[in-house]
Structure formats: structure tokens, C-alpha cells
């Protein structure tokens, strides 16, 4: 804290700062200007440990390592591998047969066996075979049509390919999400560096103004204004630190790591040259996108399902063997029969014909969905190309014209304040404008890189 009282001068005496004090002001300002108001922090430059929040400390984890861990460890990706294995395991049962039927009982046996024996005795034993009846053991087996089995095998095999295509689409989405969070974390690292630098400068200005106040070289409202700006600045720092902590949790969640495990990002990603957007035709776009490939696999599955339904018009076969020993005396008998189903009769053909027609309409819907996906993707790419060109021009304007001009304006204001030709509020306004513009530049750079990631996601680069 500083005292608000000034030393009362003698009557007729003009109070002026001593030359050593004035030289100290000049030396302090010039030295601090050279240290803190030079070029902006280069990408990848590290700050002091005490100037970083806990969420930005730890070993540097490159973007490639993050993406590899997301693809390898994320449960949302792993589930597709098990689903594909499940579909492949189901193929092994394509050639199964129906379970055989075994039955046993009595065949043409009279209710009253005593009367049957009496009748048999009256006939002198002739015809006793028919009168006393028979036992029967029957075995029946249905034999599936081989064409139906082949159609079922092709249908089941196509499902695993569809799951793998869905997996690739999910990987693309997760990679884009991880890239976006990583870039945002790198921008927050640079923002915190800018805020730390400006906080140090503002604290120095407050101390300098407090030292100059007793010599009528600073006003009390300006000092209070500077302190209020410092608190607002600290709020910005707290907000950026909180966002950095949230991004760290989100990245660790994507990598399936402990949520609080700290690591630092490589800010060199902010200097990566963005690719120039080039026009892409529909055919090239369809060959790149995994969601289109997934729809193609779904179309194949629907077509094979349609073939499977159509194969139901083919007949199935059956064989039945009956063994019939007599309850009395006589030779044992058997029956051997073959059977064939008739699925072409009208009352049996209604179901598979309706299912085949429904699957044909579903295939048409998937084709239209494919067209819609390509149409929307082409529209998004065209919009992203326009926005990327705008962001690139804005970033170039910040780097080449806006920031250098504001930095020179701030330096000139500081020199004027040092020479007692400027006021502290002018320095504060110039400081605030430069700080906000540097943060706005980083926001624009983040938007440019985010749009570049969205563009690459559409092309799956």
C-alpha cells in the first residue's frame, strides 16, 4: 500500500523530484520496456514454472501421441472391434441344420388286446400280426437347401465389414475432437503466457505510479483504475486457467487416462502451416469419407439380406425313417420316405415376397441418404474454404499490421509517460488495447486452426 499524503513544501518552494529519482524512473521504464514489450512470445516458448497453472505442467505430450492413444485406448473404439468379432463368430453357424426329430409309440394297435388275441385264435393264428398291432420308432431330418446356406453365409459375412466401417467413422470423429481440444489447449497456454507477461507489467506500473504520486507525477484515480484493471486481468487469468483444466480432463477422458494426470501440450502446433483448400469432386469425396463407405457396406448388407429372403422360394428337403416291430409274432417292418417343401404356393410366398420388396425400398432410402451425406459434406467444405480464407487473411493482418502498430503505440505512450508528457490512464488504455488485441489474435488463430481441423475431418485427412 502507499500513503495518500504528500510532504508539505515550504511556502514559495516548488517541489520537484530529485534528479536521482527521475533517472531511476527513466532507467526502470526503459529496462522494463525492453524486457516485456518486445516481440510476442514465440510459439513453443516456455514460461517460468510459477507462471503456469498446474494443468499445464508435466511432460510434453505431442499431438501424434495423443491421437494414437485415443485410437488405441478409447472404449468407444474398442467396442467396434468386439462387435466385428461377434459378427464374424456368427458366420460359423451358417451351415447348421435343423435338429432331428425322434418319436416312438404304438402303431395300429387295438385297444382291447384280449379280444385281439381271441380273434387271432379263431383264425388259427392267421392275421395275428395285424390284429395285435406294432410299436414304432421314427427318425426325421430336414435337409436345408445349399443355396440358402450360401446366401446366409454371405449376409452374415457382410455385417462385420459394416461394423468396421462404422468404427473408422467413429475414429475420425474422436481424432477431430482430440485435435480441437489440443489446439485449444495450446492457445490457452499462449494466452496464459500473455496474461502473465501483462500482469507483471501492470504490477510494475502500479508500483511506479505509487512511487511517483508524492511528486505530483501520478493521480490517485489513475492508480485506483490500474488496480481495478489488475483485478479484471486476474479474472481473465482465472478463466483461462479453468478452461485449461477442463481441456486437460477432456483430453485425458478421450485417451482413457486418469482425469487429473497432468501433461503439457506442444505449442508448435500453432505454427503448423495450414493446407490450402482445393476443390474436391463428389467421387473423390465418396472415396475419402468413412461414413459413405459405411453406407456402401450397409447397402451391400441390405442387398444380401434381400437375396437371403429371395432364397426362401427354394425348396427344402427331408427324410424320414420308421421302424415298426410287431407286438406279437411276425416280421418287423420299416418305412423310408423323402419330402420336399413347396414354398412357391401363394399362401407360403406372401411373406418372403413382401420382405424382399421392403428391403428393396430400404436400399433406395440408403442410396438417397448417401446422396444427402455427400451433398451436405460438399456444402460444408465450400463454406469452410471461404471461412478459412477469411481467417487466414485476418491472422496475417494481425501479425503484419495490427499488432506491430499497437505495440509501437504502447511503447510511445510509455515513453511519453516516462518523460512526464503523458498520463497513466493513457498508458493503461494502450496496455489494455494491446493485451486485448493479442488475445483476440490468439482467438482468431484458434478459430482458423479449428476450421482447418473441421476441413480435414470432412476429407478425413
Banded model confidence at residue 436, pLDDT cuts 50, 70, 90: very high
Q: Say whether pLDDT at 276 is over 80.
A: no
Q: Please report, for residues 28, 208, 413, the alpha-carbon distance to residue 421 in angstroms, rounded to integers and kept in the order given.
A: 17, 16, 9
Is 173 a domain residue? yes
User: What's the pTM value of the predicted model, to 2 decimals?
Assistant: 0.78
Which CATH number covers residue 63? 1.20.1600.10
pLDDT band at 109 (very low <50, low <70, confident <90, very high): confident
What HEC string does the chain produce? CCCCCCCCCCCCCCCCCCHHHHHHHHHHHHHHHHHHCCCCCCCCCCCCHHHCCHHHCCCEECHHHHHHHHHHHCHHHHHHHHHHHHHHHHHCCCCCCCCCEEEEEEECCCCCHHHHHHHHHHCCCCCHHHHHCEEEEEEEEEECCHHHHHHHHHHHHHHHHHHHHHHHHHHHHHHHHHHHHHHHHHHHHHHHHHHHHHHHHHHHHHHHHHHHHHHCCCCHHHHHHHHHHHHHHHHHHHHHHHHHHHHHHHHHHHCCCCCCCCCEECHHHHHCCCCCCCCCCHHHHHHHCHHHHHHHHHHHHHHHHHHHHHHHHCCCEEEEEEEECECCCCCCEEEEEEEECCCCCHHHHHHHHHHHHHHHHHHHHHHHHHHHHHHHHHHHHHHHHHHHHHHHHHHHHHHHHHHHHHHHHHHHHHHHHHCCCCCHHHHHHHHHHHHHHHHHHHHHHHHHHHHHHHHHHHHCC
Contact 304, 151 (CB under 8 A): yes
pLDDT > 90? residue 286: no
User: Which of 270-274, 297-301, 324-328 has the weakest average pLDDT?
Assistant: 270-274
Q: Which of 240-254, 263-277, 324-338 has the highest mean predicted lDDT (pLDDT)?
A: 240-254
Q: How much is the pLDDT for 6?
A: 41
Distance separating alpha carbons of residues 260 and 246, to the nearest angstrom? 10
Q: Structural domain of residue 183, as residue ranges?
A: 19-97+147-313+355-459
Q: Does residue 420 sit within a domain?
A: yes
Question: Is 174 inside any structural domain?
Answer: yes
- Look at residue 10 and tell me if it is in a domain: no
Confidence at residue 38, expressed as pLDDT on a 0 to 100 scale = 43
- pLDDT score recorded for residue 217: 78
Segment 28-39 mean pLDDT: 46
What pLDDT, on a 0 to 100 scale, did the predictor assign at position 4?
41
Domain membership of residue 382 (yes or no) is yes
- Estimate to the nearest angstrom the gap between the alpha carbon of 128 and the chain centroid: 83
Predicted local distance difference test score (pLDDT) of residue 209: 87
User: What confidence tens digit (pLDDT) does each residue in 312-351 have?
Assistant: 899 999 999 999 987 767 778 889 999 998 988 888 888 8
- In this structure, of 268-277, 290-299, 314-323, 335-344, the range with the lowest mean pLDDT score is 268-277
pLDDT interval class at 304 (50, 70, 90): very high
Instruction: Determine, yes or no, domain membership for 264.
Output: yes
For the segment 211-236, what is each residue's pLDDT rounded down to a tens digit?
888 888 778 888 898 899 899 999 99
- Residue 366 belongs to some domain of the structure: yes
pLDDT of residue 205: 86
The length of the chain, given as a count of residues:
461
Does residue 54 have a pLDDT over 70? no
By the 8 A CB rule, do 188 and 244 touch? yes
Longest dimension (CA), the chain: 166
Who's near 350: CB < 8 A, 6+ residues apart?
none
In a domain, 3, yes or no: no
Residues 446 and 395 sit within 8 Å (Cβ to Cβ)? no
Is pLDDT above 60 for 16? Answer: no
The mean pLDDT value for 415-419 works out to 85
Count of structural domains, the chain? 1
pLDDT value, residue 239:
93
Amino acid at each position: 500500500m502507499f500513503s495518500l499524503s504528500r510532504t508539505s513544501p515550504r511556502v514559495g518552494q516548488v517541489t520537484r523530484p530529485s534528479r536521482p529519482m527521475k533517472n531511476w524512473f527513466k532507467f526502470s521504464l526503459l529496462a522494463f520496456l525492453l524486457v516485456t514489450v518486445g516481440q510476442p512470445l514465440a510459439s513453443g516458448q516456455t514460461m517460468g514454472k510459477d507462471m503456469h497453472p498446474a494443468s499445464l505442467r508435466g511432460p510434453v505430450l505431442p499431438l501424434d501421441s495423443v491421437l494414437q492413444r485415443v485410437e488405441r485406448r478409447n472404449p468407444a473404439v474398442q467396442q467396434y472391434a468386439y462387435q466385428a468379432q461377434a459378427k464374424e463368430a456368427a458366420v460359423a453357424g451358417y451351415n447348421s441344420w435343423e435338429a432331428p426329430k425322434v418319436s416312438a409309440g404304438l402303431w395300429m394297435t387295438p385297444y382291447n388286446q384280449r379280444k385281439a388275441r381271441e380273434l387271432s385264435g379263431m383264425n388259427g393264428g392267421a392275421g395275428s400280426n395285424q390284429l395285435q398291432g406294432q410299436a414304432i420308432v421314427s427318425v426325421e431330418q430336414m435337409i436345408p437347401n445349399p443355396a440358402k446356406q450360401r446366401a446366409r453365409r454371405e449376409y452374415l459375412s457382410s455385417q462385420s465389414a459394416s461394423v468396421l466401417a462404422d468404427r473408422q467413422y467413429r475414429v475420425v470423429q474422436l481424432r477431430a475432437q482430440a485435435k480441437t481440444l489440443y489446439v485449444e489447449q495450446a492457445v490457452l497456454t499462449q494466452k496464459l503466457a500473455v496474461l502473465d507477461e501483462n500482469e507483471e507489467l501492470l504490477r510494475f506500473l502500479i508500483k511506479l505510479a505509487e512511487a511517483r504520486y508524492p511528486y505530483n507525477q501520478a493521480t490517485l484515480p489513475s492508480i485506483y483504475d490500474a488496480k481495478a484493471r489488475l483485478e479484471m486481468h486476474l479474472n481473465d487469468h482465472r478463466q483461462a486457467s479453468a478452461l485449461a483444466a477442463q481441456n486437460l480432463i477432456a483430453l485425458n477422458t478421450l485417451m482413457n487416462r486418469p482425469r487429473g494426470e497432468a501433461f503439457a501440450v506442444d505449442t508448435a502446433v500453432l505454427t503448423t502451416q495450414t493446407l490450402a483448400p482445393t476443390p474436391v469432386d463428389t467421387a473423390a469425396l465418396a472415396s475419402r469419407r468413412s461414413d459413405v463407405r459405411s453406407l456402401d457396406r450397409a447397402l451391400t448388407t441390405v442387398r444380401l439380406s434381400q437375396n437371403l429372403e429371395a432364397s426362401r422360394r427354394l425348396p427344402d428337403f427331408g427324410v424320414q425313417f420308421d421302424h415298426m416291430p410287431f407286438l406279437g409274432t411276425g416280421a418287423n417292418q420299416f418305412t423310408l420316405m423323402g419330402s420336399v417343401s413347396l414354398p412357391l404356393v401363394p399362401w407360403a410366398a406372401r411373406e418372403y415376397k413382401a420382405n424382399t420388396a421392403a428391403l428393396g425400398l430400404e436400399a433406395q432410402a440408403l442410396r438417397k441418404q448417401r446422396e444427402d451425406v455427400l451433398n451436405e459434406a460438399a456444402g460444408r467444405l465450400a463454406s469452410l474454404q471461404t471461412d478459412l480464407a477469411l481467417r487466414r487473411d485476418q491472422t496475417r493482418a494481425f501479425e503484419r499490421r495490427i499488432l506491430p502498430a499497437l505495440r509501437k503505440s504502447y511503447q510511445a505512450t510509455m515513453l511519453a509517460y516516462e518523460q512526464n508528457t503523458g498520463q497513466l490512464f493513457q498508458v493503461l488504455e494502450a496496455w489494455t488495447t494491446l493485451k486485448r488485441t493479442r488475445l483476440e489474435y490468439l482467438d482468431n488463430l484458434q478459430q482458423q486452426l479449428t476450421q482447418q481441423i473441421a476441413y480435414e475431418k470432412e476429407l478425413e485427412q
